[in-house]
Structure formats: structure tokens, C-alpha cells
Amino acid sequence: MAKGADEVPHKPGPALYPELSLGVPEGALPAGRREKRTLAHWVTHIREQEMPALGATVALIHAVADDEKASTNRLAQVILQDAAMTAKVLKLANSALYNPSRQSVSTISRAIVVLGFNAVVEIAVAIRLVDALLAGGVRKRVIEEMARGFHAAVQARSLAGMRRDGRSEEVFIAALLSRVGDMAFWCFGGGAAQRLDEVLNAGGQTVDEAQMSVLGFRLRQLTAGLAREWKLGPLLLSVVEGGGRGGSEQAIVFGQRLAIEVESGWDAPGTRKLIEEMSSFAGASPEALRETLAENGMEAARIVSYFGAPEVAHRIPQAGPVAAEEPVAAEDALAPDPHLQLRILREISGRIAAGANLNEILNLVLEGIYRGVGFDRVLFALLSRNRLQLIGKTALGAGAEALRQRFIFSLDDTPGDLFNEFFHNPRALCLGPGQSPATLRVDRLQLVTTTTLACIAPIQVQGRAIGMFYADRLNPGGSLDDETFEAFQLFAQQVSLAVTAAASTRQT
């Protein structure tokens, strides 16, 4: 934010929580210590300048969730655009919390099938939150708030499950984000965060009083503002604003209270009293519930390590020792993985035999070429009905969406043009220095893709090409060897097999 932004006068709007000013009259605020920026300023600053990635991820997932026909495939594509997120989602998909039956999960598409759409959404939002917030600021406070958030989320999810609440994934996200304003402020609050930290360390004021004296609002209000801007859902807003007290809300409130209370110890009087209060809600004896909650605390520490935050895991209070998890490393998107190729090919074969729809097969093939064969970008394109245009339909990788939008080529009878010749004589081709057929002109393709290293392969039905796969590498100093080209062709052929099998089934 510009230096002079704090000096521009703004007309104050109605307070979200007017009652919070009671006992802290304007004239009583310490002179020169009051933060000049309003709540609205902070909401805008965090939303637009500091955490746009989280907001964009949430917006994308909302758009995916609203599209019932394509939701699963589109969610997979959102996750696969980010190699680090893909690695973390797959590790979490194989963890005990999300996959107690321990079914092997090697692909994002499979993760959505095994875990369910909502669980994968839950994981993706949590990963983006961690990535956005572990960047600096008053680090001790950020880690403290994140530990409370993850601990509360795991406990609330468990409580919801005990009550057979069908919203357990929504409960997890709402509990995790119920202090997103606190976490974001401590990460991006700059001088204001430092001043508030000093006031809290000095003591003499409650947390509410300190926030009001330094900021003029409570950080809970910042959470509410961000929840509204990012459309994080009515359940979160209900909890933050102290509205309804249904079973889902109560599970979250209990999770929040427990995460704070156990900081004094699992056997502290306050913790024991709270567990007794929770026992009637959960329908379990205090003794049995304490055991479950203690196990949840251990699981929360393990899970937060999977999300890439081992520092946070150490701040979650434990009733006993917990094995530390190694942080998840980002995958190298360019490294071919023959074992992964084989697993995905087996999964594709099984899906084709089971009569899976073509969109599922297509997404597995794209993921296999991208993650297994190791390309920077992969794209699927189809001919228009009149066969006069080739149009990009879906893509994965760096800048994939921009590539898909540009990937539109007209077909005519111009001899020597790559696309005209390709659809007259469909065959897989490796394009690169010294590899492109001398008789083909690839200028139109390179103008759109801005790279010289690529492979193309046809999608055929009864010998007639209806589309193509395109995959490339962006490093001009790289190369495409025979093994890579053969693996690319093998995956591309799976779609032709699936289309042929589907056509045969319909005829039968």
C-alpha cells in the first residue's frame, strides 16, 4: 500500500460488531498508537495484495462446484496446474485421516474417486492457505494461530463425524478458516502487527482490548470481512458472527475451544471440564471422548506436516509422543517417472474395461503425459464438426489455460502446413531441431506455443482423426528422446481405444 494511503480520510461505515466498542471509548485509545487503516482497508489489502492466490483458488473451486457435469474433471485440472499442490494432495490422499482403507492413490482423478469431491476441495483450500501464510510477518503468532486452526479443524471434523453430520468436510474448512483474519494479519500486518504484538506481550489488557486499542476493530471482524469477500460459505460466517448454533456450528466452536484449552495441558482442570461438556454433544463418555480427542491431536500434528508446515505441527499440544512427518517436497514436473506411467496406464485400462466415461479417460491420459512422461504442458484439441478448425479443449501445465485459448487453427488445402498435412495423414510426430520433418512448416504452431520442442499425436476413430494431443517442453536447451516420444504415443493411443470401445458399446 502506498505511503500516503493511510492519510486519506474515509467515511466510517457501520461497525460489524457495535458491542465491541463498549468499555473502549474512542477518547480512551492511546494517542499515537491507534492504527489509522480501517477494517475495510485491511480486507482490501489482504484480499488484493497479500493473498490473491487463496481467493483465486476458492473462486475456482466455487466455479467447479457449481458445474455439476464437469466438476470432477475441472477440479482435477485446477490441482494439476500446481506441481507442489499435486504432490501434497496425493500424499494426503494416502494418509490415514483421509484414506483409512489405504487404497493406493496415484492420480488426482483417483483421489477424487476414493476420497470424494468435497474432501479433495478441503485439502486444496488448506494447502493454499498454508502456502499463503508461511511467508513471514510475526512468525510466532502466525504459527500459533495456524496450529490452533488445524487442531480445531481436525477436532471439529471428528465431532461432526461422531454425530453423523454429513457436512464434515465443510466443518473442517470452516474451522480451519475461522481465524483466517488473525493469521493473515499476523503475516501481513507489518508495523501494525508489530505494535499489537508489543501490546500483547506487555500484558495488562485482554486480547480484545489490545486489538481495539491498536486497530479499532477485532481480528474476528477481519475474518468475517474476508469470508464475505471470498464467499467462504454461510457456515463459516455463522460461526464467526456468533449466529446459529446448529450441530455443525457447535462442533466448530468446541474444536476452537479445545484447541486453546489444551495449551494449558490435556489434564488441566479447564480441559477436563470442557471434555465433560463435550461428551453429551458427542454421545460418548468423558473418558472415551478424551482418548479420541487425544488421538485427533496426534493426527492433526501428522496432517499439518503433510500440508508442508512441520513448524506448526510442533505447536499442537499432545497427550503423548507423536511421530514427526517429513515435509512434502514439490515434484519435479520435468522428471519422467516410468513407475507412475505404468500405474496410470493400468488405471486407464481398468477404467476402459469398466466402461468409464470418456472425460475420465481423457483426464487420466492428460495427467499421465504431464506427470508421468514429464512435459511442461499438455493439451487436447478437437476438430470442429465441419472439420475446418482445430480447437484446444483442455490443457495442463505452465500457462496451460492461455495456451488453450490461443490454440485455434484453421484448416485448408495449403500444402506443407503442419496441421493440413497432419489431418490428411494422421501420425504421431516429434517436433524439434533436427527432428521435425523437413517438408512440414511448423511456423503457425510455434507462433502460438513459442517453443520448438513438442510432440503431437492423433485421436482416431475407425481410422479417421478427430483431434490431437499436443505436449511440449519449454526449455530451449532440452531435448525429446525416443523413450519420451514412445511413452507420449502410448498414452495418446488410450483415448482412441476408449472412443472405439465406447462406440462399440453404443452399437451393441
- Please give the model's pTM, rounded to 2 decimal places: 0.69
Confidence of residue 74 (pLDDT cuts 50, 70, 90): confident
Residue 313 is placed in which grid cell?
Answer: 505441527
Task: Write down the pLDDT at residue 344.
Answer: 93
State the pLDDT at residue 310. Answer: 83
70 pLDDT tier (thresholds 50, 70, 90): low
Q: Which of 222, 223, 195, 225 is nearest to 210 (CA)?
A: 195
For residue 23, is pLDDT > 50?
no
* 363 pLDDT above the threshold of 90: no
Return the minimum-mean-pLDDT range out of 62-66, 120-124, 387-391, 467-471: 62-66
User: Is 338 buried (19+), middle (13-18) or exposed (0-12) by CB count in 10 A?
Assistant: exposed
User: Tens digits of per-residue pLDDT, 135-164?
Assistant: 667 888 989 999 999 999 999 999 999 998
Mean pLDDT of 209-217: 92
Mean pLDDT to the nearest integer, 156-180: 88
Higher-confidence position of 225 and 308: 225
User: Looking at residue 401, what is its pLDDT?
Assistant: 84
Query: What pLDDT is recorded for position 355?
Result: 83
DSSP state at residue 365: H
- Does residue 165 surpass a pLDDT of 90? no
Backbone φ and ψ for 456, nearest 5 degrees, come out as -135, 150
| H runs (alpha helix) in 425-466 | 443-449
pLDDT at 334 over 80: no
Strands 453-461 and 429-431: antiparallel
Confidence of residue 24 (pLDDT cuts 50, 70, 90): very low
Give the separation between CA 300 and CA 262, rounded to whole angstroms: 13
The residues near 132 (Cβ < 8 Å, ≥ 6 apart) are 50, 51, 53, 54, 187
Among 21-35, 93-107, 187-201, top mean pLDDT goes to: 187-201
User: At residue 17, does pLDDT exceed 50?
Assistant: no
Higher pLDDT, 32 or 205: 205
Give the mean pLDDT of 362-375. Answer: 92
Which set of grid coordinates corresponds to residue 430? Answer: 516429434
Which pLDDT value is given to residue 19? 34
Query: Running DSSP on this structure, what letter comes out for residue 105?
Result: -
Location of C-alpha cell 490454440: 407
The pLDDT assigned to 18 comes to 38
The region that residue 190 occupies, defined by phi over 0 for left and psi between -120 and 50 for alpha, beta otherwise, is left
Residue 201 buriedness (CB in 10 A; 0-12 / 13-18 / 19+):
exposed
pLDDT band at 69 (very low <50, low <70, confident <90, very high): low
pLDDT, averaged across the chain: 83
Segment 437-465 mean pLDDT: 90
Locate cell 455443525: which residue? 248
Q: What pLDDT shows up at residue 485? A: 94
379: number of Cβ within 10 Å: 25
- DSSP code for 441: B
Residue pLDDT, tens place only, 389-406? 999 999 988 788 889 999
**Mean pLDDT across the stretch 448-475?**
91
pLDDT of 484 over the 90 cut: yes
Please give the share of the chain, as a percent, with pLDDT higher than 90.
41
Kindly report, residue by residue over 79-107, the tens digit of the pLDDT.
887 777 888 889 888 887 788 888 888 89
User: Tens of pLDDT along 485-508?
Assistant: 999 999 999 998 888 877 666 655
Residue 119 class from Cβ within 10 Å (0-12 exposed, 13-18 middle, 19+ buried)?
buried
Distances (CA, A) of 87 to 388, 422, 443, 476: 40, 36, 36, 26
- What is the pLDDT at residue 222? 92
Least confident of 182-191, 306-315, 366-375, 441-450: 306-315
Paired strand residues for 473: 453
Q: What is the pLDDT of residue 153?
A: 92
102 Ramachandran zone, left/alpha/beta (phi>0; psi -120 to 50) = left
Rounded to whole angstroms, how far apart are CA atoms 235 and 233? 6
- Comparing 288 with 241, the larger pLDDT belongs to 288
* φ, ψ for residue 465, nearest 5 deg: -75, 130
Pick the more confident residue, 360 or 263: 263
* Mean pLDDT along residues 114-119: 83
Distance CA 128, CA 461 (A): 41
pLDDT of residue 328: 44
More reliable by pLDDT, 2 or 292: 292
DSSP letter (8 states) at residue 417: B
Helices (H), 18-167: 39-45, 52-66, 71-80, 83-93, 108-115, 117-133, 139-162
Q: Determine the pLDDT at residue 197.
A: 92
pLDDT band per the 50, 70, 90 thresholds, residue 319? confident
Q: What is the DSSP string of 213-227?
A: HHHSS-HHHHHHHHH
Q: Which amino acid is at 323?
A: A
What's 473's DSSP letter?
A: E
Strand order in the sheet with 408-410: 408-410, 389-397, 377-383, 464-473, 453-461, 429-431
301: cell is: 500434528
**52 has a pLDDT exceeding 90:** no
pLDDT of residue 201: 92
Identify the residue with better confidence: 182 or 462. 182
Tell me what the mean pLDDT of segment 99-126 comes to. 84
- DSSP conformational letter for 331: P
